[in-house]
Amino acid sequence: MNFQDVYTLQQALDVAPPPRVNSARDRAEHTARQRRLLVAQEDERVMAEWRRRHPEDVAYEQGYWARRREEDTRRRREELLDRRRRKALTSVQADIVNAGGSSFFTEEDERWFDIWLSTSDDTNDDDDDADDWSNWD
């Protein structure tokens, strides 16, 4: 619902109709969600207070994540450079073999698979570690 004179969550809750609760299970789920919401709100309040009282911890954490982003960016760029080198070597070997020459790769050499490597820089500095395992919920 959109009301012109509602500015806070509490005001919206006051004017909104009660939630449709059909069964005991629905009521239990609703109660559990409300409890989690209250816990999350209290957690945000406590964390804001902690940040206000301990700015040195905030600065340390921000520095940690800045260093971590730099290291991850450097690591990704090194991996990309390594893939490009491996693909270039394999491509040269394939060209030599196609021209009738002999390769120093054996037929079973796993380096032949490197010809299929993607060497595009598909990473983004604003990626925020999208491939990081910690994003799995």
CB-side neighbour CA atoms (13 Å) of 133: 0
pLDDT tens digits for 61-111?
999 999 999 999 999 999 999 989 888 888 887 887 777 777 777 777 777
Q: Give the integer Cα–Cα distance in Å for 56 and 67.
A: 16
pLDDT tens digits for 1-60?
566 788 888 888 888 887 776 788 888 998 999 999 999 999 999 999 999 999 999 999
Q: Give the integer Cα–Cα distance in Å for 14 and 10.
A: 6
The backbone region for 129, taken as left when phi is positive above 0, alpha when psi lies in -120 to 50, beta otherwise, is left
**Cβ-count burial 38-55 (b if 16+ within 10 Å, e if not):** eeeeeeeeeeeeeeeeee
Residue 102 contacts residue 80 (beta carbons within 8 Å): no
